[in-house]
Amino acid sequence: MPLIASVSGIRGVFGDGLDPAALVRYASAFGAWLRRQTEARPLVVVGRDGRVTGDVCARLVTATLQAAGCDVVDAGLATTPSVAMGVLKHEADGAVILSASHNPAEWNALKLLDRNGEFLGPDEGAEVLALADEDVSAHTVGYEDLGDYETDDLLPYHVQKILELPYVDPDAIRQRGFKVVVDGINSVGAFAIPAMLEALGVDDVEVLNGDVTGRFAHNPEPLPAHLDGITSRVAETGADLGVVVDPDADRLAFVEDGGRFFGEELTQVVAADFLLGKKAGPVGTNLSSSRAIEDIASKHGQEVVRSAVGEIHVVRAMQEAGAVIGGEGNGGVILPDLHYGRDALVGVALVLQHLAETGQSLSDLRAGYPTYAIAKHKLPLTDDLDADALLDALAGRYEGRVSTVDGVKVDLDEGWAHVRKSNTEPILRVYTEAGTPEAADALAERFKAELLDG
């Protein structure tokens, strides 16, 4: 299987495209690119999620970066947002995160961050890819210039910086006496989320899938079909809520009291609802996120700016608009007061603080939010399907009602459909939103059929 290189990183199946030679090639290119950005020896933070291949990949990458003349801070097992915070802590020049996010266990990836702890943009990524086409020896330094190596556990720093936010009050959260169930997906969220909850004053925490083996107990994408275990457990125990993360803990979803899936689409909605009550400003999100974010922003007298899908695109739109909070409908929460990246730990803090201050439950909050349903379908890309031609034909069919900023988004009276090439898999993503789950699914099936007809 070929590697997939995009703004979401360099991804592939380990042993089938993503092999030691590829890891060395791209890590060496990133080291060379960093050397071009600074006159001093670059400092790079490296962290990994709990995947079985993570340790092997990390050792290859850290050694390659040293051979490329970079000093390395090895964070070991760490969440993606913790690594981003590590860039700020160490004033590093960049970072490599070894995680394929929600992809299955056989996948891994190199996610590349810049000196601000943000993902590389398209132009920067293209420069690294161009360097990867050169021979590795061109990026290798002599023995006197090899980089140094040290280790650092970044989680305590990450948690402490969240506690220092002026609107996070662990005493108020402690007084609510929350009982929380966590699905750690046998990766880094299994220790990071409980540590965050403990710091916030939550004493009653039960962890499901808490062994950091990288052998995921279920499909790692936090969608309702994969979460019967935690929804059942929340209902059985009478817990106030459940917390669900993906393998690198940058995406966050909740299960509400009673065991109903609260939904990854509502994660950024409730976080924005809380923060906009504390400070005014725009909200940033992507084209595939629910219309509910506009409803919440409007309630607080604020606007929403939308971008192409992909964290860095949302971040750039937020920076241009001066947004005070943002995220993506996949469960991402981006809080500029902390760092410009999706962060499940800060998302947990904001939502618990909101519940503590309002005295409400998640089910209470849902009852007060607009009712929409999103369907997330996939259309595999086979050799006989030309994705660009299919998208062009679809755009032509709905001329005057579409955005082509990122694939094709069609706005309809009854909802919307957004069709785009995935940044992480060889598929077309077909996302739709309507008033009910049935209507959203029907809309997705309609657009898949229209694509294939085209």
Query: Are 301 and 173 in the same domain?
Result: yes
Query: Are 162 and 306 in the same domain?
Result: yes
383: pLDDT strictly greater than 70: yes
382: pLDDT strictly greater than 90: no
- Tell me the C-alpha distance between 344 and 189, whole Å: 9
- Tell me the C-alpha distance between 430 and 287, whole Å: 12
- Tell me the C-alpha distance between 188 and 245, whole Å: 9
- CA quadruple 386, 389, 394, 397: dihedral, nearest 10: -140
Structure tokens at 261: 């899936």
Which residues, in sequence order, are bridge partners of residue 285?
306
Maximum distance among all Cα pairs of the chain, rounded to whole angstroms: 66
Span 408-436, mean pLDDT?
91
4: pLDDT strictly greater than 90: no
> 301 exposed, middle or buried (CB, 10 Å; 0-12, 13-18, 19+)?
exposed
Active site residues: 101
Query: Are 418 and 340 in the same domain?
Result: no
Is the CB of residue 50 less than 8 Å from the CB of residue 187?
A: yes
Is the CB of residue 37 less than 8 Å from the CB of residue 21?
A: no
Query: Are 273 and 407 in the same domain?
Result: no
Query: Are 134 and 219 in the same domain?
Result: no
Place of tokens 């660009």: 388
- Tell me the C-alpha distance between 93 and 157, whole Å: 18
CATH number for the domain that contains residue 439: 3.30.310.50
Short-list 332, 330, 369, 368, CA closest to 350? 332
Q: What's the pLDDT tens digit per position in 17-32?
A: 999 999 999 999 999 9
Q: Which domain holds residue 230?
A: 158-368
- Tell me the C-alpha distance between 83 and 115, whole Å: 12
Q: What's the pLDDT tens digit per position in 58-71?
A: 999 999 999 999 99
Query: Are 188 and 313 in the same domain?
Result: yes
pLDDT of res. 452: 85
Q: What's the pLDDT tens digit per position in 156-174?
A: 999 999 999 999 999 999 9
Domain finish residue from 306, 341, 368: 368
CATH number for the domain that contains residue 124: 3.40.120.10
pLDDT of res. 251: 95
Q: What percent of the chain has pLDDT over 90?
A: 87
| One-letter identity of residue 251 | R
Domains contained in the chain, number: 3
Which backbone phi and psi does 337 adopt, to 5 degrees? -60, -20
Query: Are 301 and 364 in the same domain?
Result: yes
